[in-house]
Amino acid sequence: MLITVVTIFPEMFPGALAFSLPGKALGKLWDLQIVNIRDFAKDRHNTVDDTPYGGGAGMVMKADVVDAALTHALSIYDGAPGKPEIIFMTPRGTVFSDDVAREISGNKNGMIILCGRYEGVDQRVVDYWKEQHGMREISIGDYVLFGGELPAMVVIDACLRFVPGIMGNATSTEDESFTAGLLEYPQYTKPAIWRERAVPDVLLSGNHGEISSWRVAQSQEITRQNRPDLWEQYVEQ
């Protein structure tokens, strides 16, 4: 999978993605390209932003510069059988989820992620790329960060879990939180007793049927307590 990040801070990547399983697979099962938006500025100061029409605080990223950077990023995929996923990280987007990660990772043509900064990106380039190239707006939660680079890493990390071969155990993603609409059950390892706290007896029983039932019950209870919104969706299925 080829992933291209469009940003004004190319030095932030690969960042956390260079470690653990994503880092081991980088250059083998997935590749990362970085497009520096400043390379497409039209003046000697490499200006990528300007004051907003109508007034207001902050600066807005320029439509012509962002469009040129995205156009270059898309050209990297020339010759591919189809279009990559094109994503704009923004607090206004659809909230990212496990289902969305699975869907995006299913596109064998890879993805392009645009990272906004300042007060945002000129709406005209957002509208154009949504209309002409199917760009989707994605948020990682109901809060605001300084820019889209950290959210982009979150999206990439989550999507890479579904790329065949990156996870050591192919079934690892099947029992994790959100896969069945529930949060994951508790996990334990050695020692069997720690600070006078014992591992639940059922996990030491060797009875896989009872263990499976216990895990489902635990997932249900944790979801009911911690995420009533998810629990409501689960019981309505």
Split into its structural domains, the chain has a count of 2
Asked if 140 and 93 sit in the same domain, the reply is yes
- Composition of the chain by helix, strand, coil, percent to 5: 40, 20, 40
DSSP state for residue 30 in the 8-state scheme: B
The string of pLDDT tens digits covering residues 79-107 is 999 999 999 999 999 999 999 999 999 99
Asked if 153 and 191 sit in the same domain, the reply is no
Asked if 133 and 210 sit in the same domain, the reply is no
pLDDT category, 180, cuts 50, 70, 90? confident
Asked if 124 and 209 sit in the same domain, the reply is no
The string of pLDDT tens digits covering residues 13-47 is 999 999 999 999 999 999 999 999 999 999 999 99
Asked if 211 and 144 sit in the same domain, the reply is no
Domain-terminating residue out of 129, 160, 191: 160
pLDDT higher than 70, residue 65: yes
Helices in 2-88 by DSSP H: which ranges?
Answer: 20-25, 63-75
**CATH number for position 56:** 3.40.1280.10
Whole-model pTM?
A: 0.90
5 contacts 115 by C-beta, under 8 angstroms: yes
Q: For residue 182, what are the domain limits?
A: 177-236
49 contacts 59 by C-beta, under 8 angstroms: yes
Domain-terminating residue out of 160, 194, 218: 160
DSSP string, 88-121: EEEEEEEEP-HHHHHHHHT-TT-EEEEE--TT-B
* Residue 56: strand, helix, or coil: coil
* Residue 188: strand, helix, or coil: coil
Rg of the Cα atoms in the chain: 22
Q: What is the pLDDT of residue 37?
A: 98
Q: Among candidates 113, 164, 152, 162, which has minimal Cα distance to 16?
A: 152
pLDDT category, 174, cuts 50, 70, 90? low
184 Cβ partners below 8 Å, 6+ apart?
175, 176, 177, 219, 222
**CATH number for position 183:** 1.10.1270.20
Asked if 154 and 214 sit in the same domain, the reply is no
pLDDT higher than 60, residue 172: no
pLDDT category, 169, cuts 50, 70, 90? low
Q: Among candidates 102, 83, 115, which has minimal Cα distance to 15?
A: 115
Q: Among candidates 136, 138, 56, which has minimal Cα distance to 95?
A: 138
Q: Which two tokens stand for residue 86?
A: 């094109």
Region of poorest pLDDT, from 77-86, 179-188, 206-215 = 179-188
Alpha-carbon distance of 237 to 225, in angstroms, equals: 18
Residue 123 inside a domain? The answer is yes
Domain-terminating residue out of 160, 192, 209: 160
